[in-house]
Structure 1
């Protein structure tokens, strides 16, 4: 079943999308820096928790896809859902829009049937 889900094209696409997820997690953590330094203190914890969750679930999914584990599909679904949910508190900034779009993209790639080669 893993071979059916993780074809070469799907694995390549998911790997790229999951790297973008990790980059967004780093960006969200960097957005928390002004709060750590004294401004916007009430948003620091929210941003750091979101960054940790995005990085954690994205990293786990990336490792599963790269190692072709059976848990790869479930972790990709979880990553897509977490990205969509994380976009809600981040909607006031551009990263919120990007996380939502990325989450939908990961879910589309995960659930889309594989195309037949021509």
Structure 2
């Protein structure tokens, strides 16, 4: 069976309350990967997949995120779509950022582009 990967961007803001200021505008996310065999998804159903996703999110504690940040400063690596898993689905967005309501001085946006 072929393995499939679901890459999740897990919100870190709520896990790093003490370390992030309310004015911090940037993203605070960590990547998690849920890997399953295609047949397992079909056999066990979407509820099982959701449970695996929930477990992945729950694993990202404040301690794990702080350890990642400390190790990243010793050996920084930027994640790109070219370096990610094949056979993968990735979803992302930020509910904290109103993409159509912002104005950086160029006028309000009329469209949003994202690299597939």
TM-score bracket, shorter-length normalisation: under 0.3
Which of the pair has the greater relative contact order for Cα pairs under 8 Å at 6+ separation? Answer: 2
Report the TM-score, using the length of structure 2 for normalisation.
0.26
Q: Which has the larger radius of gyration?
A: 2
Q: Which has the higher strand share?
A: 2
Report the TM-score, using the length of structure 1 for normalisation.
0.25
